[in-house]
Chain A
Amino acid sequence: MSVFQRARMRRALAQCAPITDKPSVDRATRSAVQRTRQGKRAPEFALQEGFDRAVALLVQTIPVAPEVAEWFANENLVPVAKRSWRSFAFNPAVLAVAFAVAVITGIFGYRVHEHMRDFPDAANARKLLTVASSTRSVLLDPVKTDAGALGDFFFMKHQLDHYDVPPKFASFRTLGCRVFDDDEVRRVAQIWVTEKHMQFFLFPAEKNPKDGRVQNFSGWKFVEQEGWTGAVKQENGICFMVAVSGTEGDLAPYLKKAER
């Protein structure tokens, strides 16, 4: 419906506006009456309302035969229609509230689901996934070897003990690596491998601030961030994360292989 058609319809609805307020009046009519009362035609509309009220009042005084009147002694002339569940459900206010509740529930559910999967080093792992997504190959020192061989290199050059790639990922060919310091994660070793442009991260496991002990967890844990997925495993107080641009499904075959 064009703007002109809508204006014409509003004017028509105002011309046959209900004389008194009724609960069964539809939204379009209520809105047309409201807009006309506040618009340019307000004085003209006030005259119309006064005229209609006077006529309706006169109509009420039309005598009704007693035998007809007794039929309506205990009832309304027109029974009020019950609002159907459909008209209630499609009310814009109800729709807006339902939509808002659905969004809040969705976010709450997502956060709960996310926290249920959390593990002690999840925050650090997510931070490193952000590093993975922004890293370019030129930032790394080019090293072409097996990933497993870099454990000794990290120990010899950077004094990083236990920074070892798990045996099942040890045969992956590398493109480059680097060691960098992070304020929260501390010393991180990053390895770029040829297989599916995966990246490996080795970083110290988080310690309990109360007793200074490493917070252990077993098996592979998953984290997701900015379209990247990481699978994290902890051994000897060092976390190993294999990160890939994609979903858990992209990592699953490698982890199965690693478990065997």
Chain B
Amino acid sequence: MTGDAAKAQDVFQATVREAAMRAARGDAASDRLWFFRDARGRCLRAMEEDLQAEALELDEREISPSAPARIARLDAEQLAIWISAAPEPQRSALAFYYIDEFAPREMLSLLEMKVPELARLVASARRQFQAWLDATIPHEEEA
């Protein structure tokens, strides 16, 4: 979400602190997704203070059968950087989707969007990521 591990840790600690303070006040959140909602909000605020990436029309390609093998050769950091560079709300959608912990309904609630919008964001991110993969790990490097 932030593209910076230290910043992500600050957000995490601030969320935990807020949760602890609320619990001490006897005002613990009844929403089981509160933690993620709060952390996302803090991430977005932290990102607003940073330099903003220019809006670019990214190249898109259809998913290739060799994509899983090529993704396996990637570094986790490369993926994290790619996701953190995506514009909002696509970045949040990808983060929540690929963390693979949420049901679709929970994601929609966290992102405050409808199914078609989430589907469009995730589908277009796949095609963009495929184009990025094609550029980063060219076909001749396969095998």
Contact = CB atoms under 8 A, between A and B. Distances in A.
Given A24-B103, A58-B79, A51 B32 contact: no
Interface stretch (A73-81, A177-185, A246-254): A73-81
A132 to B, nearest CB: 62
B71 A77 contact: no
B115 to A, nearest CB: 5
A57 B118 CA distance: 21
A56 B119 CA distance: 17
Interface residues of A, number: 41
Contacts of B64: 47
Given A13-B119, A16-B122, A59-B76, A50 B104 contact: no
Interface residues of B, number: 41
Contact of A20 (B65, B67, B69, B100): B100
The dominant DSSP class at the A interface is helix
Contacts of A16: 97, 104, 107, 115, 118-119, 122-123
Contacts of B119: 11-13, 15-16
Contacts of B118: 12, 16
Given A12-B115, A13-B104, A16-B115, A48 B71 contact: no
Interface of A: 8-9, 11-13, 15-20, 22, 24-26, 29, 44, 47-48, 50-59, 61-63, 65, 67-68, 71, 76-79, 81
Given A13-B115, A47-B65, A58-B76, 11 more contacts: A8-B116, A12-B118, A12-B119, A18-B103, A24-B103, A51-B130, A54-B67, A62-B79, A78-B36, A79-B32, A81-B32
